[in-house]
Amino acid sequence: MDKYKPGKGQESFDKQYVRDYLDSVSFNRKPPPPRLPEDVIFKTSALYLEALKRLSGKTLV
């Protein structure tokens, strides 16, 4: 299924999801970073697993 839409934010499979979360909590980008909530960790993991599947056809689970 093609989700591309011109002029809109596109689906991302990098750490942008974590960056967006850190921006939402006004992280000043100086150490130490805030602790990530479990839902952000799980969503980020799911994005990387989906990228693996799309690129290689393989799954880890």
pLDDT for 1 equals 46
- Report pTM: 0.71
d(CA 43, CA 21): 11
CB–CB of 16/22 below 8 Å? no
pLDDT for 61 equals 66
pLDDT for 36 equals 96
pLDDT beneath 70, residues of the chain: 1-2, 61
